[in-house]
Amino acid sequence: MTTGKVVAINGNMVSVVVEGDVSLNEVGYIVVDDKRLKAEVIRIRGNQAELQVFEVTKGVAVGDAVEFTQELLAVELGPGLLTTIVDGLQNPLPELAEQSGFFLERGLYLQALPRDKTWSFTPTAKPGDTVLRGDQLGHVPEGIFEHWIMVPLGMFDTYTVETIAEAGDYTVDQTVATLKDSKGNLHEVTMVFQWPVKRAIDAYAERLRPEEPMVTTLRIVDTFLPVARGGTYCIPGPFGAGKTVLQQITSRHAEVDVVIIAACGERAGEVVETLREFPELTDPRTGKSLMERTVIICNTSSMPVAAREASVYTAVTIAEYYRQMGLNVLLLADSTSRWAQAMREMSGRLEEIPGEEAFPAYLESVIAAFYERAGLVRLKNGSTGSVTIGGTVSPAGGNFEEPVTQATLKVVGAFHGLSRGRSDARKYPAIDPLDSWSKYRGIVDPGMTEYARNVLFRGDEVGQMMKVVGEEGTAVDDYILFLKGDFLDAVYLQQNAFDPVDSSVSTERQRHIFDLVFHIIGSKIVIESKDEARDFFYKLRQKFIDYNSAEWQSDAFKNLEQEMRDLFSTVSSELEPKAQEVYRNRGKYA
């Protein structure tokens, strides 16, 4: 065993003189009294290593012993991960609280997966089969999924199956297969193995281009700012603008198999809210608890900074593991700004040359490496799996020009910027449709959505002009354009999360509604005065809000739609030429 002695302490960073060999990202334990504090090697210079400690370093002194494990910082992967609430080091928090009481005890580390629970194993491989890492040996039921029991991802040779367990109940520590490598050595395989969190899981056949939309059932996202399955997006916004709420709504209604929430340094109050609400939420797909297909990795901003970084990598490793089973996984990181601040703090203690706003010079590359672990992949059996990553950013004062937001925008495929103005005006989701963008294709024809966005832009320009010259100084046609943009915002971009119907809108319904909205905002509207125009759009908007709350294809839904069409026919009969061209060419470039 490699050992060392503490020679300096600077907050959560400890310098150690090492006797023997150590590796970057290797785990070491600092022995303090009768406790062993977990740490990770983050820099090596000669015979001295710097370690970031995942605990409060109170009591650590020069001369204290350090024991290195010869193992990289890793997580346990196996059945039983779903429904768990763990910290950044994968300690199950409920069990940790039971053992340590109200305040979590330092130096207490628990196994992530229960060792006493049995799983009903069904073999799929047979003796004599040739297998590689990531290949399926069998499966066990985990909630609504078949959890693959696979050749551990750290076994890089070609193996022959010597024995395979019969169908039956086993714990995760029991041997379910024996494999022989190319040199004739035998390896016993259990249901659980470890994988280093800083290394991406790449045991798939091919990486594919994300193109299919990940439906969230939020109209503004699916129609105007889509996210691809296997893609990346970010949600920057000022404090209180609704980032956490938006993530919770997405996690509940998004059409994905597994949801992983990484509370990587969010404030304790918001974390407590997540922990309280999620077990109570009903999964729309199954009718059971949403926690049955959810993993929560929890680190608040009051925990040591190193733990924030660990939670991000723990979350993405678990996401990649479930992707390896052909599942679609959504990883929500809240908030990556805390993670970046932790990196800034540790970089300062390492006395590295600072970048902009004292963040480390390598901030962009670290953020890029994290988001690059998302992706759509084809597995060796021909099935596909995906990891979609959505990260929130909390820029001070809502300033999107700060380094973390800018570094994130360079690598993600969609930008859902939250606006303080929209939040204060009670427009939810508070995503700004004018500043936000997406590189992905949505569920509606892109020509039609581009036309609608143009109506929003032009209507906003008229609105800004009216603040200067007043309503009386605006032409009727311009005022109608302003009302069209306001109508589109009110009835389509905004959504009532408390309404059981409007809170989640199916793809079919979104397309149907958008077609109706497009004909309203794209038509020539003949109204003589601004007062008449205001009254007309007010009546139409109120009917549309009721329409959004009506059950899909119900009598009320059909009646309200007919009433709106009858009302609209009194002021318009045809689309404007540009809208006609767009509508005629819809689907042409699909």
Indicate the annotated binding residues for ATP. 237-244
Tokens encoding 115: 């060792």
Among the listed residues 247, 237, 251, 234, the one whose alpha carbon sits nearest the alpha carbon of residue 389? 234
- What's the residue count for the chain? 590
> What 3-state DSSP class applies to 340?
helix
- 175: DSSP letter: -
As beta bridge partners, residue 233 has 390, 414
194 class by beta-carbon count within 10 Å (0-12 exposed, 13-18 middle, 19+ buried): middle
**Element of type H or E holding 53:** strand 48-53
Tokens in use for 442? 């949505």
Sheet strands side by side (includes 177-180): 130-131, 159-164, 177-180, 186-189
Q: Are 282 and 71 in contact (CB under 8 A)?
A: no
Note whether 208 and 385 are within 8 A (CB).
no
Helix-strand-coil percent breakdown of the chain, rounded to 5? 35, 25, 40
Helix (H) or strand (E) holding 137: strand 136-142
Dist CA 498 CA 485 (whole Å): 24
Q: At what angle do helices 446-469 and 507-521 cross, to 10 degrees?
A: 50
Number of H helices, E strands in the chain: 15, 26
Tell me the C-alpha distance between 48 and 190, whole Å. 37
Collapsed DSSP state (helix, strand, coil) of residue 35 = strand
Task: Collect all residues with Cβ–Cβ distance below 8 Å to 512 and sequence separation of at least 6.
Answer: none
| CA–CA gap between residue 140 and residue 148 (Å, rounded) | 7
- Are the C-beta atoms of residues 305 and 346 closer than 8 Å to each other? yes
